[in-house]
Structure 1
């Protein structure tokens, strides 16, 4: 299993279990699959005490705490990507970035309309059909969260561009999506639709 598929936890000075997302906190640590269901199961079965070989107190909402930390990290990276010019905002600009192959990923607000998502999905399928990259799409944040992170208003669709800051933000989006139980990406779905279009 790759390191990005795991989350490290350590026992804090007060004996409470603390997530170590950066993997640099001191002390004995244990690793859990980066999926909320696994963390919730570890909390319910008190597996952290056994893994850390110490009596520890585990917050019942540890899964929600990790989700919140991953979401804040992803939104922070998204804001940095915007400042670096590695984000396209708005349906038309996102579609252009997708069709040109410059987009590394597409982000839709939770409130995005099915019609808006369908138009961008058609551009993603067309890009794959023409031999371009498979571009994943994620629906992880509300319009308010995206607008705040990206410094805009009513941000419904955005694209992360293939630049360093955009790729760093994408890495965090993938981690959050995986943690929430999503597929690593939906590129297989896009590729399948593209294959259907050629038949």
Structure 2
């Protein structure tokens, strides 16, 4: 059995039990059976036991439930939450928001409309994080500012979270707009946003990759001297 677990984790590609397509493991989500038979997502690929892999998209997870693919994959009875697609979404969302909190602690986040607009000119901004339930007018004006600076295509625009979620992640009140500055922790946050967006079938605006966000601008990972992020 230990060998099965080793092979399960070591293979560079696995077959999705829902679609039967073979994909790199980075494009899949691993699921395992808990001792009580319940199917649980293993996003970090660390949990013991036989793994079953599903394409990392909500639609594929729903398809796996519909086709009873988990039981076939485990070759045993499996108890599947009908809303397991939403469970995965929540886990991916929490991972991304936790990393945004780390970026805030590292001084890589600027909040507030006026400060974000000013940061477009003075700072190595790699992404604009906007609340899903924020003002459409404010979002439009910030996009206009990026357009004037010829930066609209080079700054990612992420609209995956509600204002209340951003408040909790950043330890502030009424966060609607936030600028993310270049640095390793920012790249890690964007990578998690990419996972969440792919899972939801959402495409972000802008073309900056998560990897490129490590080194754009000064690339130091430290806030420029004298910059107020409060």
Q: TM-score range by the shorter chain?
A: 0.7 to 0.9
Question: Kindly tell me: are residues 133 and 139 of structure 1, through their superposed partners in 2, closer, same or farther at Cα, counting changes over 3 Å?
Answer: closer
1:77-131 CA-to-partner distances (Å, cap 9, x unmatched) read: 111111111111112222333345612221111221121111222233345x36x
Question: Kindly tell me: are residues 4 and 105 of structure 1, through their superposed partners in 2, closer, same or farther at Cα, counting changes over 3 Å?
Answer: farther
For 1:56 and 1:50, the matched residues in 2 are separated by: 9
Residue 58 of structure 2 contacts residue 200 of structure 2 at CA under 8 Å; is this kept in 1?
yes
Does the residue aligned with 2:79 lie in a helix, a strand or coil? coil
For 1:3 and 1:87, the matched residues in 2 are separated by: 31
Structure with the higher helix share, 1 or 2: 1
Does the residue aligned with 2:159 lie in a helix, a strand or coil? strand
Identify unmatched segments of 5+ residues in structure 2. Answer: 1-22, 208-230
For 1:4 and 1:93, the matched residues in 2 are separated by: 36
For 1:165 and 1:119, the matched residues in 2 are separated by: 27
Higher relative contact order (CA 8 A, sep 6+): 1
Question: Kindly tell me: are residues 111 and 32 of structure 1, through their superposed partners in 2, closer, same or farther at Cα, counting changes over 3 Å?
Answer: same
Q: Which one of the candidate residues 186, 189, 202 is aligned to 1:169? A: 189
- TM superposition shift of 1:133: 6.4
What's the TM-score, normalizing by structure 1? Answer: 0.84
- TM superposition shift of 1:32: 1.2
For 2:111 and 2:169, the matched residues in 1 are separated by: 12
Confirm whether residue 118 of structure 1 aligns to residue 137 of structure 2: no
Does the residue aligned with 1:10 lie in a helix, a strand or coil? strand
Identify unmatched segments of 5+ residues in structure 1. Answer: 189-199
Question: Kindly tell me: are residues 25 and 95 of structure 1, through their superposed partners in 2, closer, same or farther at Cα, counting changes over 3 Å?
Answer: same
Q: Which one of the candidate residues 28, 32, 39 is aligned to 2:54? A: 32
Q: CA RMSD in A?
A: 2.0
Alignment of 1:45-194 (within 5 A): 45-100=67-122, 102-127=124-149, 129=150, 134-183=154-203, 185-187=204-206
What's the TM-score, normalizing by structure 2? Answer: 0.74
